Amino acid sequence: MTKAPSFSLQSDTNQTISLKDLAGKKVLLFFFPKAGTPGCTTQACGFRDHFTELTDHNATVVGISPDSPAQLAEWKKQAKLPFMLLSDPDHRVAEAYGAWGERSMFGYKYQGIIRSHFVIDEHANLIQEERKIGPKDSVKKGLKAILKSS
């Protein structure tokens, strides 16, 4: 099995969170382009709506974007998200996971977050990798992978 890339990032509560802090739990790690945007809200709220089911299966959810900890904290409060959000302003972690690359909007190409999620087991092994996935499919497939791995 492939090991998940390690990371250490600032959270929405200004704490430094590392992958090793989550050892012993499954982690549904999702990358999203921008807090508060429609697709990102659909994805995050989908995970929120299944959060109890995920925690019942020894899993947690962690969202990562380039947004600042303050922006993430505000969105977390507005959307009533029960999980932590991490700030990756220089996109190092997104790059390590292959969740940073070329995107396009209205014919304009640019570098940015590629909506993705990764399911990591209790020993930091990647058990599912989904890149370029729609918000609703991310929730459906991520939840299925967690339940299947239990």
- Using alpha carbons only, how large is the chain's radius of gyration in Å? 14
Residues 6+ apart with CB under 8 A from 111: 100, 101, 102, 103
Give 134's DSSP letter: -
- Residue identified by tokens 């959270």 is 11
Q: Which of 119, 91, 108, 104 is nearest to 32 (CA)?
A: 91
Residues 6+ apart with CB under 8 A from 144: none
How far out from the chain centre does Cα 86 lie?
A: 8
Judge whether 15 and 87 are in contact, CB under 8 Å.
no
Judge whether 141 and 128 are in contact, CB under 8 Å.
yes
Active site residue 40: yes
> Which is the catalytic residue, given 40, 64, 85, 93?
40
Q: Would you please indicate which residues are annotated as catalytic (active-site) residues?
A: 40
